[in-house]
Structure 1
Amino acid sequence: MKKIINQPSQVVDEMLKGFVYANDERVERVPETSVIVRKDKKKGEVALVSGGGSGHEPAHAGFVGDGMLTAAVSGEVFTSPSPDQVLEGIKAADQGAGVLLIIKNYTGDVMNFEMAKELAEAEGIEVEQLVVDDDIAVEDSTHTAGRRGVAGTVIVHKMLGAAAKRGLSLKEVKELGDKLVPNIKSIGVAMTAATVPEVGKPGFTLEENEMEYGVGIHSEPGYHRTSIKSSSEIATELVGKLKDAFEFGDNEHYGLLVNGLGATPLMEQYIFAHDVEKQLEHEPIKIEFKKVGNLMTSLDMNGVSLTLVKLQDDWADLWYDPVHVTDW
């Protein structure tokens, strides 16, 4: 294992210290917690709190700021933060208009965030929750009951963050999220597994000439292991799966994310994005917005994921609303 770290047991704490040091004009850390909160909170605005296990950077702390998250809570690597930590995140984020929890669909995250919600409500804070389950690769996998929450979560952060900034109520932001989540679908592919620092070895083994479709962001199993394919062939597979899941219709409008999983150079992500374009240009749909980059990673996993969101109403406008966070 080759990593630029000190003690494996200290990676999350030291990462958060470095993150705040590098971005102290925008965020701060709640003392004695793993909570990153924006400095310029807006009284009377709905607060958004997300988080989960570390190792997915820039998610989630990198999206804390004006127009996206109010606070993010980090657990240990690939491990949900405790209910007490999430509660501290809710309390730090609350701006007087209620708090929406955005949760990726992993058993530990859902359980701990729900417990924190109950604790916060007992303290008089109005809290709603939204569970994101955009990964269409498998219905059930390690850590999950149902589909996993992956890079599509970032779309939820962006659009609901814009809605909160526009002044929508907690009920209205939650209702928007309930409409949005079923219209987001993602699928990925991995060339190598992630190496958790405290474990010191990859979460699974792929031979030099192998790759796996549908691997999760915690190195959970995918749906098909095969020999290495070209970018064009990978795009054909992933776009085909999304096409089947959405059942593309004439004149439908979509947004698109190409997400690097941690060790994939931007050069390769852009090559893949071009191949996705070639697959989609023959479909009867219109792509309203596109984004390429490392948004929801998996430590040092080599791979990409592809996300589409089927747009309704003014959702594209929410995407384009200005945002001031570290990693957008």
Structure 2
Amino acid sequence: MKKLIKEKTHFLNDMLDGLSITNEQIEVVSDSIVVRKSRKKQGVAIVSGGGSGHEPAHAGYVAQGMLDAAVCGEVFTSPTPDKILSAIKAVDNGDGVLLVVKNYAGDVMNFEMAQEMAEMEDILVETVVVKDDIAVSDEEKRRGVAGTVLVHKYAGYLAENGASLSEIKDKIETFLPNLKTIGMAITAPMVPTTGKFGFDIEDDEMEIGVGIHGEKGLSRETIEPIDNIVGRLLGVLLQEIKSDDLIVMVNGMGATPLSELHIVAKYVSENLKAQHKSVEHWLVGDYMTALDMQGFSITLIPNSEAVLNALNAPTASKYFN
């Protein structure tokens, strides 16, 4: 295994130490909880988290305009309920806390337990669960993937503008059914804590419908030119997104060069134009990765004034643009 690490057991702590050294806006408390140094004196706090390996998610979005805290589990492993509770208590100011949770069994269970523990201490907590991965046919079992970052931004914007906890939850739950993502990969991630790849794949193969934890896709096929791949992914997405005016995120999985993500964007644009659809806003870059997996995902949402205002609102996070 070739990785730029010291000890595989120190991966998370070393990463968070480096992040806190280079980002003066945050501090790391209780080993794996990242919080804003400048805590809100009033207003709803937004907390998210999950297993590490998806950087910059989630710790990179702890900043004014986005998250108030992120709870970081070990690589691809949910944080424990006690750590989530500690994060809630670290940022609660009496106006309530919204938990943004990706739809994975461990995350959902542990965040639910933390919410119950917080409520026993009279802390007002609500939860939204992101299920944007349309590669999973059962809507209740759909995974939370790159679209989660857009939820961070929208919820953070609403909180910064003084919305109440119930108002933020209602607006996010209205937003979530229109948030759709699908991804692909041509290499698997190398998990530093195990020294193993998430799956085996040949040089001439690709996985369609991959997850962000090294899960295999829905199908394995011979790799095709990028315009064909983009057309296939958009074909599935546009079965669920009927709007002709769109917001598009092209998300890298960790090892995809920015040049190739822009090539993806070119063919997304050409494909949508051919179908008489327009893109009001683009996001291209690494937002929700899978360690060093080479691939990308496309997220579509219908354009609206409310969502566009949220995405364009300022944030102190250097990782969202």
Does TM, normalized by the shorter one, top 0.5? yes
Q: Is 1:94 aligned to residue 92 of structure 2?
A: yes
After superposition, give the CA deviation of every residue in 1:195-221 in whole Å (9 maximum; x if it has no partner): 111211211011010011001001122
Q: Is 1:34 aligned to residue 32 of structure 2?
A: yes
2-side partners of 1:277 and 1:284: how far apart?
10
2-side partners of 1:92 and 1:180: how far apart?
27
1-side partners of 2:150 and 2:304: how far apart?
14
Contact in 1 for aligned 2:13/2:31 (Cα 8 Å): no
Name 2:112's counterpart in structure 1: 114
In the alignment, which of 211, 230, 235 is matched to residue 225 of structure 2? 230
Q: How does 1:26-65 map to 2 (within 5 A)?
A: 26-30=25-29, 32-65=30-63
Name 1:14's counterpart in structure 2: 14
Q: CA deviation at 1:261?
A: 0.1
Contact in 2 for aligned 1:106/1:145 (Cα 8 Å): no
Q: Pick closer, same or farther for the CA change 1:145–1:221 going to 2, 3 Å.
A: farther
Secondary structure of 1:50's counterpart equals: strand
Aligned pair count reads 320
2-side partners of 1:188 and 1:113: how far apart?
26
Name 1:253's counterpart in structure 2: 245
1-side partners of 2:50 and 2:106: how far apart?
9
2-side partners of 1:325 and 1:71: how far apart?
13
Equivalent position amino acid for 1:21 in 2: I
Percent of residue pairs identical: 50
2-side partners of 1:20 and 1:200: how far apart?
26
Which ranges in structure 2 are unaligned for 5 or more consecutive residues?
none
1-side partners of 2:163 and 2:211: how far apart?
33
Q: How does 1:115-154 map to 2 (within 5 A)?
A: 115-139=113-137, 146-154=141-149
2-side partners of 1:139 and 1:244: how far apart?
12
Name 1:168's counterpart in structure 2: 163
Secondary structure of 1:157's counterpart equals: helix
Moved over 6 A (4+): none
Q: CA deviation at 1:145?
A: 6.2
Secondary structure of 1:306's counterpart equals: strand
Which ranges in structure 1 are unaligned for 5 or more consecutive residues?
none
After superposition, give the CA deviation of every residue in 1:214-268 in whole Å (9 maximum; x if it has no partner): 010011221121111111111101111111122x24xx43211000000000010
Contact in 2 for aligned 1:183/1:311 (Cα 8 Å): no
Secondary structure of 2:224's counterpart equals: coil
Contact in 2 for aligned 1:33/1:85 (Cα 8 Å): no
1-side partners of 2:26 and 2:67: how far apart?
11
Name 2:284's counterpart in structure 1: 292
After superposition, give the CA deviation of every residue in 1:31-82 in whole Å (9 maximum; x if it has no partner): x331000112221111000000000000000000100000000001000000
1-side partners of 2:147 and 2:17: how far apart?
27
2-side partners of 1:155 and 1:215: how far apart?
19
Contact in 1 for aligned 2:40/2:91 (Cα 8 Å): no
Q: How well do the aligned residues superpose, as a CA RMSD in angstroms?
A: 1.3
